[in-house]
Amino acid sequence: MNNADLLKELNLSSYVAFDFETTGLSSENDRIIEAAAILFENGEVKDTFVSLVNPRRPIPHMITRITGISDEMVIDAPYEKDMVNDLFDFIGDYPLIAHNIHFDIEFLRIQKIQDLHFSNWLGKRQAIRWMSFLKCMRLPGLKCQMQNSTEH
């Protein structure tokens, strides 16, 4: 089964794949420094969202070595809250997929925890499949094991 057939079988003809780069692994103590999202429709890229993010703190040297993102690159970038609002507008009501969706969603939750808009946005997704993108794409001949990550 090819990727297009797999996505059709999963009822994912349209979806947003997204990923974050962060200052570390703790959603409570670290911050997003880059966000990227791609809207796919019928296997074709239809739109993209990419933004550097000013974390309001120095980026650790190790993170700069891994990501290539430096303090100088983010100095004039939007802050997390502003970027997250723009990202929500981009995502709309599309299903989300990501390589490590629990990690990325937790960064969104921490950023938007007090925001009613986020609660409503996440609530709409109770019936939408949250899934690990690579888990599906690495198993082209098998049914994708889906993970429901809306229990947060």
Domains and CATH numbers, the chain: 3-137 (3.30.420.10)
Per DSSP, which regions of 6-56 are E strands? 14-22, 32-41, 44-52
Q: How many CB atoms lie within 10 A of CB 132?
A: 19
Q: How many CB atoms lie within 10 A of CB 100?
A: 14
pLDDT of residue 108: 79
pLDDT of residue 42: 82
- The helix (H) or strand (E) run that includes residue 132 is strand 131-132
Q: Residue 139 has what DSSP assignment?
A: -
Tell me the pLDDT of the chain (152 aa) as tens digits. 676 777 777 777 888 888 999 999 998 899 999 999 999 888 889 999 999 999 999 999 999 999 999 999 999 999 998 898 888 889 888 888 888 877 888 887 776 654 545 555 555 543 344 444 444 444 343 333 333 333 33
- Prediction pTM value: 0.74
Place of tokens 């690579």: 134
